[in-house]
Structure 1
Amino acid sequence: MTTRRALLAAPLALPAVARAQEAWPTRSIAVLLGYPPAGVTDFASRGVCERMGRALGQTVVLENRPGAATAVANTAVAQARPDGYTLLMGTSTLAINPALQPALTPRDPMRDLTPIGMVFRTAFVLHVHPSVPATTPAELIAYAKANPGKLNFGSSGTGAVNHLCLELFRARAGIDVVHVPYRGGAPALLDLRAGRIQGMFNAVQEALPAVREGATRALAISSKERAAAMPDLPPLADTLADFDGVFWQGLFGPAGLPAPIVARAGAALRDATTDPALIARMAEQGVALTTGDDAALRRTLAEETQMWGRLIREQNIRPE
């Protein structure tokens, strides 16, 4: 009898589920971010969440959940109910962690998360201390080859995207430079300004003041496209074909997130990433908002997981 009642009730339950999905959202939405307040990811995420909230007619609250190379936030969303009320501002770490720190969860973001859409891409500036006699990437490569092991390049930490950009540059250029990991980009930049290290890759908004002051010399941008904030800076790809190293961010939900919710959240996200006022505000910080649907985000995650995974294995990069 119980089985018969369940079978009879099932067709009635399906429309109720469909109506719930169509009505989404009926309450506030939490978007988790694996970084502390302040910084480019927090700044961009708050702007996007606020604009999405207007489009959805509900409050979209950003919750900072830093820890374990963003795995705390990533895992919390992967384990959440797929009802659209817990989402993730995922970043490049989703493509890096599986190879660099395979014990961290989610071990398979492609399986454990549902891509919704792209949020932004931000490139890195390759800049050096003025004591380095190079004004172009080609001159820097030539100087490094003539002085193997004598140039020290900083990063914000082993496995950070700016570190991986350095490793990609070092491998592609065939040069021997020393990697000096720091606990964050700020102390590394201080040492670069002082000449205690000779170069590094910095996010545009971090490098720009030092370059404008003449404390460092910018040689190239790490993305294939030029940066709006530094339009005269050539892409490193002009010297090393197809070089492309960026930090990206995208919106994800738990695995099994219903298609209607993905579509509605994706539409609200597009409203945010195409909003002229928000685009201008982000550009001032060197952040290029990116419009891309769930397929584009899925493709980005797959391609970068392969690219960074291969680099991490080939260069035998290990966490600190």
Structure 2
Amino acid sequence: MFRRRALLGVPPLLLPALAAAQAPEGFPARAITVVSGYAPGGVTDITSRAVADRMGRELGVPMVVENRAGAATSVASTAVAQARPDGYSVLMGTSTLAINPALQPNLTPREPLKELAPVGMVFRTAFVLHVHPALPVQDTAGLIAWCRANPGKLNFGSSGTGAVNHLAQALFAQRAGIEVTHIPYRGGAPALLDLRAGRIQAMFQAVLEALPSLQDKGTRGLAISSAERSALLPDLPPVAAALPGFDVVFWQGLFAPSGTPAPVLARLEAALAAATRDPALQARMAESGVVIAPGDAAALRRLLEEETAMWGGLIRAADIRPD
């Protein structure tokens, strides 16, 4: 009652501005910008828009995706890290947050764990390990044995130095104790063309990108990089069946600027949880090879901490440097 009476003396034209100024406490009151570090049209962008739309319905305000590609997603993550911490600018962050500090330490934010506040998990998407059909191997154990017998002779492609599928290959070689030759490309499409032609013999590739080639027998699938099987390739076992503990995925999570008030973070986290648990959204994303992965802020923070340590150690040990 006191609040209502206090507002009676406020000119009507100033009420919207007053509401906006007070919005963080009663969050939300206006549209929220969701910044993505990827160009429109890809799986990451499509998922961002689907989740943002579902979250917006939960919050009762639009969540507008803004694509700010560049500098290995650093343009987007820096924009949010430096934004006002009021909940109206959030980041669809990805695995690059765990990779960039070691691979490209000149990029910002240099310390994502300090400069961004985790909100929750969005998705995980695995890679398929596939090979040229002429390679005389049928499974992961066979590939490892072949590489041990032929050190350095396997040309292992990737979509670029420092990409998650390149790091998956480097981690695979390290844990298997094998020597392979890394052949980086500018994207997955040209790498796949060379794999089909036999100019390279193996690569980790996003399931959806590899699927047509697997279906027409242009390549042979050996395993899936995640600890769990892929719904699109249920017959392929995890790499972990041959290398226990191997679990590599490309992931996406929602972040806010560090210093965002706890009630605002809690409201965003609740809306994200509702969105990622929506069966309709899960089914829609599964068609794109994406596993919607519900997980709270603590789970996302833990993942970022673990992967920052894992990828940082691998990058330094293997002396991986950007092209």
1:110 and 2:118 correspond:
no
Q: 1:163 aligns with which of 158, 166, 179?
A: 166
1:119 and 2:145 correspond:
no
Aligned to 1:199: 202
Distance 1:186 1:269 in 2: 32
Aligned to 1:62: 65
- Three-state SS of the structure 1 residue aligned to 2:172 is helix
Partner amino acid, structure 2, of 1:276: P
Q: CA deviation at 1:241?
A: 1.0
For residues 238-260 of structure 1, the C-alpha deviation after alignment (integer angstroms, 9 at most, x for no partner) is: 10110111111000000101111
1:289 and 2:306 correspond:
no
Q: CA deviation at 1:21?
A: 2.5
**RMSD between superposed Cα atoms in Å:** 1.3
Identical columns (%):
68
Q: CA deviation at 1:173?
A: 1.0
Aligned to 1:216: 219
What does 1:1-320 correspond to in 2, within 5 Å?
20-320=23-323
Distance 1:166 1:95 in 2: 17
Distance 2:275 2:20 in 1: 28
For residues 189-246 of structure 1, the C-alpha deviation after alignment (integer angstroms, 9 at most, x for no partner) is: 1111121111100011111111111011000111111111111110101101101111
For residues 154-182 of structure 1, the C-alpha deviation after alignment (integer angstroms, 9 at most, x for no partner) is: 11100000000000011111111110111
Cα gap change, 1:190 to 1:38, in 2 (>3 Å): same
Partner amino acid, structure 2, of 1:80: A
Distance 2:142 2:240 in 1: 15
- Three-state SS of the structure 2 residue aligned to 1:249 is strand
Q: CA deviation at 1:19?
A: 5.4
Displacement over 4 Å in runs of 4+: 16-19
For residues 110-156 of structure 1, the C-alpha deviation after alignment (integer angstroms, 9 at most, x for no partner) is: 00001000000111100001011111001111111112222111111
For residues 64-118 of structure 1, the C-alpha deviation after alignment (integer angstroms, 9 at most, x for no partner) is: 1010000000000000000111100000000000011111000000000010000
Q: CA deviation at 1:61?
A: 0.6
Contact 2:156 2:200 in 1 (8 A): yes
Distance 2:75 2:20 in 1: 30
